[in-house]
Structure 1
């Protein structure tokens, strides 16, 4: 399959990700960049919420479950616009003049630059649309997609029950899986191809739009910062690249792409960020009603991050509110009432922080470096082993100077310090109770908190780049009369637009060194399929892809999950007794896997095989996931077991057997 053949699946993903949310917010009189910036988060919120509601009302998961709430909410918005136009600001919105054509071209360029740069990087890293991430977590993600398609349920409340085929349902954040499964259904693309289509759209479109939206809450919707925010969203190896190579962390990847937009809505609702005519109550409604649920159902840890990042916004909001007050007892009561509300909010955050977290056994990641190293990595955005991104280091140093001159909003600085502090603590502090309390929400995993840092770093760097560009304009136009056309003006001229566009391209290209290029090169190994791949080798995948020729649809397959046999479910639609390596294997399944070579003398083995309808054994002799070295006696003697017969094979390392001794 070529990348051009993936275009229909990509266009399908774009429609699912942006159209529902955009139709809803536009119907509620939200316009301009606010509508574009909130479209994807609202769509994901609608999609994931509808998936939860589906099983409750007895409806299978399909695009219809997304269309119905979209139409209903859009209709409600249109009715409210008719009945209460003043509340939704529709009169003001309809009187806005059309933007200058050069400004519109600049905004198109602001999207084009990151779309091209990020899509190119992801395509180079993934290699082929049919490739899968050869990582531990991806075994679950791939099989969970097949489980949604088979069961008709994409609910977060039940997805964790895949291992028991629904007999023991449990929660697992399913927004990403719901999105990919819809792409599979609507486009007809395979599961691997649909995953890669979603990765391209989320990484190359949702992420930069989200970054631009957040940045403009600080800078205003002006051409230069919009261009620079789009360009600078491409310069971090930690996002999107690290999140789709390590793990692989697809749900967390989606939640982080939505997080900047969520922060932007918090700033708008509190009144410390630009609103572009959107009422504060409407920003709060979109945030609470759709965006927060969407982020939570993508990955709960990003909601906890949002709750913490909101603290500086609330503090700045209260301080600004206090400055507007006069003296008087009633006014003092209102002010101190807000202080009490903030303290209650902090108490609630601490309570959630202690309750919504993985187990201690799952949070055993150790620190990886010393604190000075961690601080240096934060400043240069060269997180983990990536090496520094020099343009980020330069712009961060400029930002420090701007902070000292009070030229950057305090809430932006506060969020940056929190995000940086979390990474420094998780990667540089020794193992202790305080470290576990602060970063245990993210499994004490340095990789996850590295991926979270660009969410706010891109805003800081954009402010610095915009300041440098403006000062350069002033300096050059003042020193050289022939360059007077560079003098900053309120209107965007063709000349200044061209210079800003070129500067943005330079930022994006120079910013690929070195963390981005390192992560792309490193990530290639996790997607390439060869004779010794991490999960599936070429012979193993070839055999899996023709299992449907030998194995009946209602049969289940026995196999060592650590060798990649579990992926028979995702790639060939044939269930296995062990659909993931991360769960404890049921005792009856272990009895078969350890005792298959004793079926002639142990009647319990054949009894279990008959009950589970598991007459087929998939055997791979290649590399195991994480080089685990896990072996089961009954699966090691298949070539010499008289009770099984080899019915297919690929090379010397992949074989399919049929149990004939039961």
Structure 2
């Protein structure tokens, strides 16, 4: 299984970097920068090809998605020749290569430590309802060849046809593509995809961002390799909250998108307008088809950057330039808030994170306590504060705004559900964890500046002391390098160390990264008792051996069987715990399947959907004794009573497989007008 995992990682890296590299290289970017930008183009084009394939009736698979993507990425070579875009002055240095390699190596190291090593198997998965959707959708994409973000579904026939709208499925496209190319288990491909995004895409994306912000400072770029992964919440909370894998991809691409944006602003949009337009379309498509709230993160950054540029451009009227820019961006923000298209997102009733008082929320925000139960990162917060001071001194105040906005929005989202929450947090589903992860990204430049300033101060102090003893010595450069190396090693050991001995309580306590690592290990554990346990997974595998391939199996999703299709591949009827858009047949089945021997309507519904079997994983288990989904309540469980009431004695069902509280029944109640299966 781990060999398959490694193969999936290699293929995922090829899929994300080769096509996009060719495209950006042909747009005359340097080789290192083309590598960093590559996932933007690859993500966008793969997703667009998937949409086009479905529209024209082509079965999406490795050859029909990756093949066209590769071909399309060669075309800009001709375009570059025609429009003369190759005249760009973007040139790589040996330091670009060294630093890019450092970012990638450090990212891979942290990813192995935080995500891959804690997995007790390459096919480990997180048992949360959101993840069932992701697992089911990836498997359905692979089996159906329908990968489009427009009307993306998990393939269940229990819902009203056409009820699925736009669903950003770029991540699912990528996982499905890796799965088909590697001929692997979907979960192995999913874990490999997440590993590549966390350990390679995000660090190289951040390298592009920081080199754009600090093009003349090798110190800042060196420090950024460590700073980019230093905030404990990102990308790791996206693996245990939801998991929010679509947001994971969108936010990992975000720094590179911002770097691309700044590159063309600096190079001159008027001169390079065709390249700007083409790259801009790809960037917008990549974020929109991954998770659109990445675009609003980009909007916050763009507002600060463009305001800064306008003040610099109109230096004699800075106040007026600031006021006009701010007013325009604020008005546009409120206009977007009022659009019906965003209403469901902006007004999303996300109350899960509303657990703090205003004072507690303020403390959590300023100490970087960005997840429930996560220990604060107080030292890192102080470093970021030093970075803010440096930014003010260096006249780069605009860099503070995106981070401060997200930190404030995070604080607001945790302590109030008033209108202010919708205004500041609405585009992120009013979700504190998405806002915290966005804050983590925008804090990286400030942490980089703060840590660099501390290094320079220590090196300067050391040089002054040395100079006072040896007036003729000149060791400034060598001391800076030594201090940088030593401080980065010390900072890395302190910041990423998993636990420490509390001198007050005399107990071993988790560090922020240790806490996140432990959460990942527990949530992905196959030995822990989850709602869909290893025992239940094995039972489903045995059940599949006893029924014809493709047989439709009615299930009670809240007992964990909503995972059965995505994990095992069994053709379950109910793949979601929601009931809002179910068909009439589905509602009839969930409410009265146990009456199939007496009810003609139930028999007709079962015949209409061609169901043949029933799967129960917690038969007869009371609510207060069972292991359920986080969202499950005693009332929600009653929605499936028609299925849950089935026992070995219920007329119309024949026991095929039995193990403890797990059952597989053959539906016999549709035979001969409702013959009993007893």
1:192 equivalenced with 2:187 (yes/no): yes
Match of 1:88 among 79, 86, 89: 86
Please name the residue that 1:418 is paired with: 405
> What per-residue deviation string (whole Å, max 9, x for no partner) do you get for residues 44-85 of structure 1?
111112222221222222234444554454444322443444
What is the correspondence of 1:354-503 to structure 2 with a 5 Å cutoff?
Answer: 354-355=338-339, 356-358=342-344, 360=347, 362-365=349-352, 367-384=354-371, 385-404=373-392, 406-407=393-394, 409-428=396-415, 430-480=416-466, 487-488=476-477, 500-501=484-485, 503=487
* Aligned partner of residue 511 in structure 1, secondary structure: helix
Alpha-carbon distance, 1:285 to partner: 3.0
Please name the residue that 1:329 is paired with: none
Q: How many residues align?
A: 634
Distance change in 2, residues 1:98/1:593 (3 Å)? closer
Distance change in 2, residues 1:65/1:392 (3 Å)? farther
CA distance in 1, matches of 2:219, 2:473: 18
* Aligned partner of residue 526 in structure 2, secondary structure: coil
Match of 2:299 among 307, 312, 318: 307
Alpha-carbon distance, 1:153 to partner: 1.4
Match of 2:519 among 519, 522, 525: 522
Q: Does the CA-based 8 Å contact 1:237-1:517 persist in structure 2? A: no
1:555 equivalenced with 2:551 (yes/no): yes
CA distance in 2, matches of 1:48, 1:541: 32
What is the correspondence of 1:82-481 to structure 2 with a 5 Å cutoff?
Answer: 82-85=81-84, 87-89=85-87, 92=89, 99=94, 104-160=97-153, 162-164=155-157, 167-168=161-162, 169-220=164-215, 222-271=217-266, 281=273, 284-285=276-277, 287-323=279-315, 346-355=330-339, 356-358=342-344, 360=347, 362-365=349-352, 367-384=354-371, 385-404=373-392, 406-407=393-394, 409-428=396-415, 430-480=416-466
* Aligned partner of residue 648 in structure 1, secondary structure: strand
Q: Does the CA-based 8 Å contact 2:615-2:664 persist in structure 1? A: yes
Distance change in 2, residues 1:74/1:593 (3 Å)? closer
Alpha-carbon distance, 1:28 to partner: 1.0
* Aligned partner of residue 210 in structure 2, secondary structure: helix
Alpha-carbon distance, 1:497 to partner: 5.9
1:641 equivalenced with 2:650 (yes/no): yes
CA distance in 1, matches of 2:396, 2:490: 26
Please name the residue that 2:21 is paired with: 22
Q: Does the CA-based 8 Å contact 1:117-1:508 persist in structure 2? A: no
CA distance in 2, matches of 1:132, 1:224: 40
Match of 1:623 among 604, 623, 627: 627
Alpha-carbon distance, 1:639 to partner: 2.0
> What per-residue deviation string (whole Å, max 9, x for no partner) do you get for residues 467-502 of structure 1?
2223333332342258967523xxxx8x97676455
CA distance in 2, matches of 1:346, 1:10: 42
Choose 600-609 or 467-476, whichever is displaced more. Answer: 467-476
Q: Does the CA-based 8 Å contact 1:619-1:656 persist in structure 2? A: yes
Please name the residue that 1:332 is paired with: none
* Aligned partner of residue 625 in structure 1, secondary structure: coil
Q: Does the CA-based 8 Å contact 1:426-1:444 persist in structure 2? A: yes
> What per-residue deviation string (whole Å, max 9, x for no partner) do you get for residues 119-162 of structure 1?
21112443321111111201111111122122211111110474
Match of 1:652 among 644, 654, 660: 660
> What per-residue deviation string (whole Å, max 9, x for no partner) do you get for residues 559-591 of structure 1?
110111122222233322211113434332232
* Aligned partner of residue 645 in structure 1, secondary structure: strand
Alpha-carbon distance, 1:212 to partner: 2.0
Q: Does the CA-based 8 Å contact 2:4-2:184 persist in structure 1? A: no
CA distance in 1, matches of 2:215, 2:594: 71
Q: Does the CA-based 8 Å contact 1:531-1:537 persist in structure 2? A: yes
Where structure 1 has 5 or more consecutive residues not aligned to the other structure, the ranges are: 327-334
Choose 49-58 or 277-286, whichever is displaced more. Answer: 277-286
CA distance in 1, matches of 2:239, 2:198: 9
CA distance in 1, matches of 2:92, 2:644: 72
Please name the residue that 1:331 is paired with: none
Alpha-carbon distance, 1:12 to partner: 0.6
* Aligned partner of residue 600 in structure 1, secondary structure: coil
CA distance in 1, matches of 2:60, 2:147: 6
Alpha-carbon distance, 1:171 to partner: 1.5
Q: Does the CA-based 8 Å contact 1:474-1:486 persist in structure 2? A: no
What's the TM-score, normalizing by structure 1? 0.88
Alpha-carbon distance, 1:376 to partner: 3.0
> What per-residue deviation string (whole Å, max 9, x for no partner) do you get for residues 166-222 of structure 1?
932422110110000001100111111111001110011111112222122221164
Larger RCO of the pair (alpha carbons < 8 Å, separation 6+): 1
CA distance in 2, matches of 1:183, 1:381: 35
Tell me how large the CA RMSD over aligned residues is. Answer: 3.0
Distance change in 2, residues 1:647/1:321 (3 Å)? same
Match of 1:661 among 651, 656, 669: 669
* Aligned partner of residue 640 in structure 1, secondary structure: coil
* Aligned partner of residue 314 in structure 2, secondary structure: helix
CA distance in 1, matches of 2:208, 2:46: 21
What is the correspondence of 1:465-614 to structure 2 with a 5 Å cutoff?
Answer: 465-480=451-466, 487-488=476-477, 500-501=484-485, 503-512=487-496, 514-530=511-527, 532-533=529-530, 535-584=531-580, 585-614=582-611
> What per-residue deviation string (whole Å, max 9, x for no partner) do you get for residues 428-448 of structure 1?
3x2212222332222222122
Choose 253-262 or 355-364, whichever is displaced more. Answer: 355-364
Distance change in 2, residues 1:531/1:305 (3 Å)? closer
Q: Does the CA-based 8 Å contact 1:89-1:277 persist in structure 2? A: no
Please name the residue that 2:675 is paired with: none
CA distance in 1, matches of 2:38, 2:316: 34
CA distance in 2, matches of 1:486, 1:658: 82
Distance change in 2, residues 1:541/1:341 (3 Å)? same
> What per-residue deviation string (whole Å, max 9, x for no partner) do you get for residues 288-335 of structure 1?
221111111111122122223211111011111113999xxxxxxxx9
Distance change in 2, residues 1:614/1:131 (3 Å)? same
